[in-house]
């Protein structure tokens, strides 16, 4: 009985550690690889870099345009987070606290956009629309489209909104506060935790987005984000000689989100688990 | 308070969200719904051709090849990721040491960009000079490396990459479901002498039923519509071996150099019809699964 238990435990831990290894190794390879030379990466078969080349980052930053890509990724992600939270929290406030004609239609529309899977076809009319609005030659087109996909954040904020007692609205109304002022000064601060998780999720989505910025910046390298610029390295004619830039660039893209994850992994995970009930 | 003033306030707060959703979410779908009846290649005038695009779909061998590939890809991804994530969830729901850390580790791939990881996996699996092959050769496991992205193994490789990115997500959803099963059910059953495997079969699985059903449904839809990772990793190649439905659709709207000859030109009308067809296929599979799993629940 005793030995059986020990064997069982050993098998269990070998299984868990092997899986953890497989999960982590691609990221470890990326981080270690970002310090190797191109030839060490393509022929060296080493685990640790034989010599740590921190210069890869400086070169990727200057010569491979990663400074531009990083800046663009930051602009897109931060604007999308701000816009999404604003638009979605305003909508969630009136949908939860007020009755008006068309509320059901609005909610239905939001869930419809979440569940219909039509793929890349929507990118075409979206692009044409931005050309007409003269927003295709800046990142605003990309940002607006990313903000428009706020259905899931709306539903998340709606569930957080339900947790804020209505008595607070009442009290504010009796004190003479307008609906708008109640939202900005009372509801929004109390919505903090919801906004935090929403921000995390929107940031992750916008930062990692690939297809939308790809389509919008195909002929405009100065507007490309990290994901697009990085994937383009793979297609380039000199791809074979730039593996070390690929690794450094991949790190620039992965590390900010990974650092956020180290500190806030509970929030990331809570969010996914919560979506099951919503 | 004035009722119409309240309504005006509500609409003003709803306006940004409703406008964005209508213009950038609903209108593009309506656009596709219209142009699937047209011959339209992005220039000149669009010509109404009725159902011609749909009869073209029926004859389009490349499309049906992509449908078959989608099923293989989705099937492989599900068969590997669902049991694995369920097993992980069952283990990490128990009070074992370091379970928080392990959960965080397994969930980590889901926070990283699919496209970025596809670039990394390309450098790992690349047949010539790839990192994995360097090690296989170094340790004499293979004399000249394995052609991971070649015609024989490319599909397996893209499936493995997809599984890598998906397991943590489903594990977490299963964990949320498992936490709803009361602890004392396990305690009383172990007093009755049930072992862990029996507990899993007769308590965990039945009580997890609805969650299991929902997660599998979600996984099916995700697997059928995913193509970003494949696009970066193999571009659907070699020779269409990993071309899935939604990647084929993407190429009709945004032709990629090096793809099959028939997708070198933009096909907005035909592409819209393909998008509709693909959405119908995903919807049908989900419905079939939904009814099949409900019946199974009743028999249980």
Cβ-Cβ contacts under 8 Å for A64 (sequence gap 6 or more): A229, A233, A242, A245, A249
Mean pLDDT (chain B, rounded): 88
The tokens of A181 are what? 């002022």
**Calpha distance A87→A79 (Å, rounded):** 12
* pLDDT (tens digit per residue) in A229-272: 999 888 876 666 788 888 999 999 999 899 989 888 888 887 77
Contact state of A257 with B112 under an 8 Å Cβ cutoff: yes
Contact state of B17 with A88 under an 8 Å Cβ cutoff: yes
Answer whether residue B289 shows pLDDT above 60. Answer: yes
> Are the beta carbons of B149 and B126 closer than 8 angstroms?
yes
| The pLDDT of residue B50 | 86
Q: Is the residue at B137 inside a domain? A: yes
Concatenating the DSSP letter of every residue in A40-79 gives IIIII--SS-SS--THHHHHHHHTT-HHHHHHHHHHHHHH
What number is the average pLDDT over the span A65-76?
94
Answer whether residue B37 shows pLDDT above 80. Answer: yes
What number is the average pLDDT over the span B125-131?
86
Give Rg (Cα) of chain B: 24
Q: Is the residue at B21 inside a domain? A: no
Q: How confident is the model at residue B15 (pLDDT cuts 50, 70, 90)?
A: very high
**Calpha distance B19→B293 (Å, rounded):** 38
Among chain A residues, CA nearest to B248: A120
Q: Is the residue at B192 inside a domain? A: no
Contact state of B23 with A121 under an 8 Å Cβ cutoff: no
**A230 → closest Cβ in B119, B176, B225:** B119
| The pLDDT of residue A91 | 96
Helix, coil or strand: residue B47: strand
Judged by a CB distance cut-off of 8 A, whether residue B225 touches chain A is yes
**Calpha distance A20→A15 (Å, rounded):** 9
**Calpha distance A28→B19 (Å, rounded):** 44
Q: Is the residue at B290 inside a domain? A: yes
Q: What is the ipTM of this complex?
A: 0.89
Judged by a CB distance cut-off of 8 A, whether residue B253 touches chain A is yes
Answer whether residue A31 shows pLDDT above 50. Answer: yes
Q: Is the residue at B107 inside a domain? A: yes
Cβ neighbours around A236 below 10 Å, total: 12
- Domain ranges across chain A: 64-235
Judged by a CB distance cut-off of 8 A, whether residue B290 touches chain A is no
| The pLDDT of residue A276 | 56
Answer whether residue A53 shows pLDDT above 90. Answer: no
What CATH code is carried by the domain that includes residue B146? 1.10.3720.10
Cβ neighbours around B192 below 10 Å, total: 8
**Calpha distance B10→A94 (Å, rounded):** 5
Contact state of A23 with B105 under an 8 Å Cβ cutoff: yes
Contact state of B131 with A33 under an 8 Å Cβ cutoff: yes
Domain A64-235, classified CATH 3.40.50.720, yes or no = no
Cβ neighbours around B126 below 10 Å, total: 22
| The pLDDT of residue A81 | 97
Q: B253 contacts in A (CB within 8 Å)? A: 120-121, 123-124
Contact state of A120 with B246 under an 8 Å Cβ cutoff: yes
Closest by Cα among B269, B274, B277 to B47: B269
Q: Is the residue at B263 inside a domain? A: yes
Mean pLDDT (chain A, rounded): 89
Q: Is the residue at B234 inside a domain? A: yes
Q: How confident is the model at residue B260 (pLDDT cuts 50, 70, 90)?
A: very low
Q: Is the residue at B71 inside a domain? A: yes
Judged by a CB distance cut-off of 8 A, whether residue B287 touches chain A is no
> Are the beta carbons of B96 and B210 closer than 8 angstroms?
no
> Are the beta carbons of B74 and B223 closer than 8 angstroms?
yes
Contact state of A122 with B28 under an 8 Å Cβ cutoff: yes
Q: How confident is the model at residue B258 (pLDDT cuts 50, 70, 90)?
A: very low
**Alpha-carbon dihedral B14, B15, B16, B21, rounded to 10 degrees:** 90
Closest by Cα among A212, A142, A221, A81 to B113: A212
* pLDDT (tens digit per residue) in B240-250: 999 999 999 99
* pLDDT (tens digit per residue) in B67-119: 999 999 999 999 999 999 999 998 998 888 888 999 999 999 999 999 999 99
B interface test, pick of A28, A124, A187 with most B CB neighbours within 10 Å: A124
Contact state of B120 with A23 under an 8 Å Cβ cutoff: no
Answer whether residue A222 shows pLDDT above 70. Answer: yes
Q: A273 contacts in B (CB within 8 Å)? A: 172-173, 175-176
| The pLDDT of residue B269 | 93
**For chain B, what is the domain count?**
1
Q: Specify the higher pLDDT residue, B168 or A271.
A: B168
C-beta pairs of A32-36 under 8 Å, 24+ apart in sequence: A33/A243, A33/A244, A33/A247, A33/B123, A33/B131, A34/A244, A34/A247, A34/A248, A34/A250, A34/A251, A36/A244, A36/A247
> Are the beta carbons of A169 and A182 closer than 8 angstroms?
yes
| The pLDDT of residue A136 | 85
Helix, coil or strand: residue B129: coil
Report how far apart, in Å, the C-alpha atoms of B46 and of each of A113, B41, B275 are.
27, 8, 18
The tokens of A122 are what? 């929507």
* pLDDT (tens digit per residue) in A90-120: 999 999 999 999 999 999 999 988 877 788 8
> Within chain A, where are the H helices?
2-33, 38-39, 55-62, 66-97, 103-115, 123-132, 140-148, 151-162, 166-174, 179-182, 188-190, 192-208, 211-216, 226-235, 243-277
Residue B95: domain span: 57-181+208-299
């Amino acid at each position: 009985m005793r030995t059986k238990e020990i064997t069982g435990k050993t098998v269990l831990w070998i299984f868990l550690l092997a899986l953890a290894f497989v999960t982590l190794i691609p990221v470890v390879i990326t981080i270690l690889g970002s310090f190797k030379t191109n030839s060490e990466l393509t022929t060296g078969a080493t685990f640790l870099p034989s010599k740590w080349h921190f210069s890869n980052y400086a070169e990727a930053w200057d010569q491979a345009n990663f400074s531009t890509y990083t800046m663009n990724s930051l602009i897109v992600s931060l604007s999308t987070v701000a816009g999404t939270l604003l638009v979605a929290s305003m909508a969630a406030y009136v949908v939860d606290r007020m009755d008006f004609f068309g509320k059901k239609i609005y909610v239905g529309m939001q869930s419809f956009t979440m569940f219909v899977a039509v793929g890349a076809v929507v990118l075409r009319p979206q692009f044409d629309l931005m050309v007409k609005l003269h927003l295709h030659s800046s990142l605003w087109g990309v940002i607006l489209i990313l903000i428009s996909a706020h259905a899931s954040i709306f539903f998340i904020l709606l569930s957080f909104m339900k947790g804020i007692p209505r008595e607070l609205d009442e009290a504010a109304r009796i004190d003479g506060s307008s609906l708008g002022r109640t939202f900005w000064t009372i509801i929004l601060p109390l919505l903090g935790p919801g906004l935090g998780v929403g921000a995390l999720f929107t940031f992750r989505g916008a930062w990692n987005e690939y297809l939308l910025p790809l389509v919008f910046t195909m002929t405009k390298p100065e507007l490309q984000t990290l994901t697009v610029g990085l994937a383009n390295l793979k297609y380039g004619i000199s791809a074979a000689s730039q593996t070390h830039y690929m690794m450094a660039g991949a790190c620039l893209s992965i590390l900010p989100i990974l650092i956020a994850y180290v500190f806030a992994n509970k929030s990331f995970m809570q969010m996914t688990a919560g979506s099951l009930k919503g | 308070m004035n009722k119409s003033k309240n309504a005006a306030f509500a609409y003003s707060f709803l306006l940004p969200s409703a406008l964005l959703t209508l213009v950038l979410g609903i209108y593009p779908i309506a656009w596709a719904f219209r142009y699937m009846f047209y011959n339209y290649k992005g220039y000149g005038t669009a010509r109404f051709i009725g159902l011609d695009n749909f009869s073209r779909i029926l004859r389009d061998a490349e499309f049906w090849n992509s449908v078959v590939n989608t099923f293989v890809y989705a099937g492989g991804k599900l068969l590997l990721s669902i049991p694995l994530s369920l097993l992980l969830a069952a283990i990490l729901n128990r009070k074992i040491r370091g379970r928080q850390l392990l959960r965080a580790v397994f969930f980590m791939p889901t926070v990283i960009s699919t496209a970025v990881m596809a670039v990394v996996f390309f450098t790992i699996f690349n047949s010539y000079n790839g990192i994995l092959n360097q090690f296989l050769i170094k340790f004499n496991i293979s004399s000249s490396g394995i052609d991971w992205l070649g015609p024989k193994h490319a599909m397996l490789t893209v499936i493995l990459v997809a599984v890598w990115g998906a397991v943590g997500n489903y594990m977490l959803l299963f964990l949320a479901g498992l936490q709803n099963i009361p602890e004392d059910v396990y305690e009383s059953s172990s007093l009755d002498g049930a072992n862990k495997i029996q507990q899993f079969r007769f308590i965990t699985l039945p009580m997890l039923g609805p969650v299991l059903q929902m997660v599998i449904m979600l996984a099916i839809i995700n697997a059928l519509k995913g193509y970003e990772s494949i696009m970066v990793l193999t571009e659907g190649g070699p020779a269409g071996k990993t071309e899935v439905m939604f990647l084929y659709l993407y190429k009709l709207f945004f032709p990629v150099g090096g793809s099959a000859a028939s997708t070198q030109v933009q096909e907005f009308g035909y592409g819209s019809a393909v998008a509709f067809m693909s959405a119908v296929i995903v919807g049908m599979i989900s419905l079939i699964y939904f009814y099949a799993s409900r019946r199974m629940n009743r028999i249980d």
